[in-house]
Amino acid sequence: MRLLPMTLLLDIPPGWTGPWAESLRELMPDATILVNGQDEFVSEAVDYLATFRPKPGLIKSLANVKAVFSLGAGVDGIVSDPDYPKTVPLVRFVDHTLAREMAQYVVMHVLIHHRSQRHFDAYQAVNKWRQRPILRRTEDTRVGILGLGEIGTMCAERLRDLDFPVTGWSRTRKSVAGVESFAGAGELAPFLARSDILVCLLPLTGETRAILNAKTFALMPKGGFVINVARGGHLVEDDLVAAIDSGHLAGATLDVFQTEPLPASSPLWNHPKITVTPHVAAITDPRAAASSVAAGIAAHQRGDTLENLVDLKRGY
Ligand code: NDP
Ligand code: OXD
């Protein structure tokens, strides 16, 4: 992609792997691509930043940065920086392959729960043949999706296509074929009351933090199941364990945690009714991210309106 000369700073979280800089350099051969923590750079020379969880203050220190590109769909790690300069546009990563992987993860864990797969795993481990009917009909297993955005909508459509009755909850009302839409704080309680499986796909904001709490679980039907693939900050972990141990909830699948990596001492690791995965529901593909960053920079240089802009006041 031909671009005007510019400098892009790539700020990758420690532990991330993949050919991030290579993908960006391949797509933008005329650009200067620098990697934070590896390359020396002059802050004032940085035109664009691609990042996921920047150290607070990094963006403010880049006095001439023209736009920031999030390498993840969730931007809570960027907008939480109190020094984020409000005049700098923030572009979110929206990608079909990311949404598709998220939908695969959600469908898989809905089915693992619905088909009692963990029950069969436990008996296989001790060489025991234990048949058991599916406990509830698909038509009677209502899935509720908190957050009917890019990813939530794809999850809803895939589950609907498997004949699960699906509803979604969002700030504004949605129109997704075959998916009942609930909107706003006033419709949260009726939405929860008909969510046998509750999937969280909300962005983490001041309004959604700790939304998965004791009150929320009490409003769900007895025997309900929770899947949190959004952010650890959405869930009050102790409330979840209490709701499962009391017998009100049947269990949970968690991909995201208040503290990541999840400390080895966390009781969540060994809870017999909780499945833990290490924030892998979907991993950003470096090539897809590079192509979205390159397209955004090209649009910005042409003076076009940027797509997928984050509303900094709303926080997503
Ligand atoms: P979107 O911004 O497309 O969708 C967010 C949805 O949440 C929208 O429907 C929005 O409603 C709704 N919402 C936001 N605030 C509220 C509120 N206060 N009350 C009710 N509804 C609200 O986000 P994505 O679908 O792209 O991503 C969702 C989240 O998934 C990300 O923020 C990230 O945290 C997580 N994620 C996790 C990954 C993982 O590997 N575990 C990978 C990728 C993403 P409305 O449309 O009306 O504004
Ligand atoms: C994301 C994530 O937000 O990986 O994209 O969690």
Tens-of-pLDDT digits for all 316 residues of the chain?
Answer: 778 899 999 998 776 765 889 999 999 999 999 999 989 999 999 999 999 999 999 999 999 999 999 999 999 999 999 999 999 999 999 999 999 999 999 999 999 999 999 999 999 999 999 998 888 999 999 999 999 999 999 999 999 999 999 999 999 999 999 999 999 999 999 999 999 999 999 999 999 999 999 999 999 999 999 999 999 999 999 999 999 999 999 999 999 999 999 999 999 999 999 999 999 999 999 999 999 999 999 999 999 999 999 999 999 9
Q: What is the pLDDT of residue 34?
A: 94
Q: Where are the beta strands (DSSP E) in the chain?
A: 7-11, 32-35, 48-51, 67-70, 90-91, 143-146, 166-170, 179-183, 197-200, 224-228, 249-254, 274-276
CB atoms within 10 A of CB 134: 10
119 is catalytic: no
Distance CA 96, CA 293 (A): 15
Could you say which of 231, 248, 271, 302 is catalytic? 231
Protein residue closest via CA to atom 5 of ligand 2 = 72
Protein residue closest via CA to atom 4 of ligand 2 = 72
Distance CA 154, CA 293 (A): 23
CB atoms within 10 A of CB 223: 13
Roughly what angle, to the nearest 10 degrees, separates helices 96-114 and 117-125?
70
Ligand 1 neighbours, Cβ below 6 Å, are: 73-74, 98, 102, 147-152, 169-172, 201-205, 207-208, 229-231, 255-256, 279, 281-282, 316
Q: Which of 170, 231, 312, 314 to mutate to test the pocket of ligand 1 (most atoms within 8 A of CB)?
A: 170
Give the full edge-to-edge strand order of the sheet including 7-11. Answer: 32-35, 7-11, 48-51, 67-70, 90-91
Could you say which of 25, 115, 209, 279 is catalytic? 279
Q: What is the pLDDT of residue 61?
A: 97
* Angstrom distances, CA of residue 34 to CA of 67, 207, 289, 298: 16, 36, 16, 18
**C-alpha R_g of the chain:** 21
Query: Which residues, at least 6 apart from 55, have a Cβ–Cβ distance to it below 8 Å?
Result: none
Cα 227 to middle of ligand 1, angstroms: 14
Nearest CA among 171, 31, 151 for reference residue 93: 151
Protein residue closest via CA to atom 35 of ligand 1 = 230
